Amino acid sequence: TSSHAALVIIGTGMAGVGLARALRRLGDQRSITLVSADSGDDYSKPLLSTGFAKGLVPEQLAQRSATDLGEELNAQMVIHTQVTALDVDNQTILLEGGMVLGYDTLVLATGAAPRVPFSIEPSVAPRCFTINDLDDYRRFHTALGQGPARVAIVGAGLVGCEFANDLHAGGHRVSLIAPEGTLLPRLLPPPLGNALGDAFSEAGIHLHLARSIDSIAAESGEDIVLRLDNGDAVSADLVLMATGLVPRTALAESADLNVSPGGIVVDRQLRTSHPNIHALGDAACVDGVNAMYVQPLQASVKALAATLSGAPTPVSFGAWPVVVKTPLLPVVAYPPTNTPEHWRIEGEGGDISALAENKDGRLIGFALTGGCVRRKVELSRAAPALLG
Ligand code: FAD
């Protein structure tokens, strides 16, 4: 079986859905098919790490079902279906199950996949989770059950810290284990990472930093036990792996499109190395930058919708800081792209500002905690654009 659409978008995350929506807003009438490996429900991924504090069930996080989304966008939705191959010469994609779908224009909005850096034993695998879409969230939510659970989170990045704060606020007992010595190591210089760590510890989140995991195994009946390199043991009911995300480039790679470790290589017009194929969102590396957060994605959506509607529009990214959703200690960070000459760090307790300066004393990035987050707008104005 085969069919054809003028525009095929692979991915129904913020990038894929956002693009279809932006095109329809511009009055674009072409036939659109959206294909997704997941449920295709319309949801906001950033809200996944805020649901436990608010006591939300997964269904409250879905803004629209895939069916309603298809109607809204006047688009065909192909859901729970993996795209397994891309044939650039014939302008077709192959879907799991054998269906072939032709396109005039193809957009890769395939996002990024969780990376789990060690193998998990089959006996504990059913209780080890990653959460990277609403389907994952549903599974984790079900496993968590009704009462308070002990959750061991592995990873001290944005996803690990946000879930630690949110699960704690939802009444669960949280341990966080990471090889780095401080929280949010890629966003915050150590004094600010320590301030967040203090806020977490004071709230009762158990931190095991600068520790690697020797083993994760089911022990003494129901417990999962994580054995650490210093001999400590952490017992848990569930494990949440928040150990990084890697852009999904496999399809592009298999079709010989240019890819880099940062994602599918695209220019400022979000064009891949092949005509008629574009990429955006967490999957794409735009002129050397893959920011993997919402604001650059939204700028890309807007630019690509204009380009596909006939007004070629290069994208640019401003100095848009990341707002980390850790209410125990608010954090805002705009990490410098190059190693700074030095960090100018001021403040005390949880209220700290850190300005990254180059050798000429120019501001190239910043990080703020607690009350200092109010400096966000002023510092964003002074910092260089992410992609100017
Ligand atoms: P995704 O949402 O990952 O969508 C990818 C889509 O591609 C999915 O539909 C998937 O099924 C589909 N797909 C992939 N491969 C295939 C295939 N072969 N066949 C078929 N379908 C395929 N950013 C912020 O700016 N602020 C925040 O507060 C924030 N909070 C976050 C909290 C969490 C817990 C996480 C995980 C991320 C957060 N982010 C945040 C980052 C932000 O959510 C992402 O940058 C954004 O959602 C990426 O959207 P996307 O559409 O590129 O990818």
Q: Per-residue pLDDT tens for 329-344?
A: 999 999 999 999 999 9
Residue found by looking up tokens 């043991």 in the block: 233
* Residue owning the nearest CA to atom 53 of ligand 1: 111
Ligand 1 centroid distance, CA of 286 (Å): 16
Q: Could you identify the residue written with the tokens 């735009």?
A: 286
Q: Do the two domains 2-113+245-308 and 116-241 of this chain adopt the same fold?
A: yes
Residue nearest to atom 31 of ligand 1 (CA): 46
Please tell me the distance between residue 12's alpha carbon and the centre of ligand 1 in angstroms.
9
Residue 41 confidence (pLDDT): 96
Contact between 292 and 282 under an 8 Å Cβ cutoff? The reply is: yes
pLDDT at 28: 98
CA neighbor of 358 nearest in space, from 367, 369, 366: 366
Instruction: Tell me how far the alpha carbon of residue 112 lies from the centroid of ligand 1, in angstroms.
Output: 6
Q: What CATH topology corresponds to 116-241?
A: FAD/NAD(P)-binding domain (3.50.50)
* Residue 234 tokens, joined: 């952490």
Topology of domain 330-382, CATH:
Enolase-like; domain 1 (3.30.390)
Report phi then psi at 160, rounded to 5. -65, -45
What three-state secondary structure class fits 338?
coil
pLDDT number for residue 222: 78
Specify the pLDDT at position 220.
Answer: 74
Q: What pLDDT does 351 receive?
A: 98
ipTM passes above 0.95: yes
Q: String of b and e for 165-200 (b: at least 16 CB within 10 Å)?
A: bbbbbbebbbbbbbbbebbbbebbbbebbbbbbbbb
C-alpha 86/C-alpha 91 separation (Å) is 8
- What percent helix, strand, coil does the chain show, rounded to 5? 25, 35, 40
Distance CA 29, CA 213 (A): 53
Residues of the chain with pLDDT under 70: none
Q: Please give the distance, rounded to the nearest whole angstrom, from the Cα atom of residue 234 to the centre of ligand 1.
A: 30
Residue 1: the pLDDT is: 82
CA gyration radius for the chain?
22
pLDDT score at 370:
98
Pair type for strands 213-219 and 206-209: unpaired
Predicted confidence at residue 372, as pLDDT, reads: 98
Residue of minimum CA distance from atom 29 in ligand 1: 46
Question: Is residue 111 lining ligand 1, measured as CB closer than 6 Å?
Answer: yes
Is the minimum distance from the CB of 350 to ligand 1 under 6 angstroms? Answer: no
Q: Which residue, among 297, 274, 277, has the nearest Cα to 286 in the 3D structure?
A: 297
Spatial CB neighbours of 83, under 8 Å, sequence gap ≥ 6: 10, 35, 37, 93, 94, 95, 96, 251
Q: Is the CB of 114 under 6 A from ligand 1?
A: no
Domain 2-113+245-308, CATH class in plain words: alpha beta
- Tell me if the pTM is above 0.90: yes
Q: Please state the domain extents for the chain.
A: 2-113+245-308, 116-241, 330-382
Which residue lies with its CA nearest to atom 33 of ligand 1?
A: 46
CA distances from 256 to 14, 30, 86, 90, 273 (A): 26, 27, 10, 14, 9
What was the pLDDT predicted at 40?
A: 97
Alpha carbon of 292 to ligand 1 centroid (Å) = 8
Residue 241 near ligand 1, beta carbon < 6 Å: no
What one-character-per-residue DSSP string does 299-318 give?
HHHHHHHHHHTT------B-
Distance of CA 349 from the midpoint of ligand 1 (Å): 34
Amino acid 221: pLDDT: 72
Å from CA of 320 to ligand 1 middle: 18
d(CA 298, CA 234): 40
The atom of ligand 1 lying closest to the CA of 113 is 3
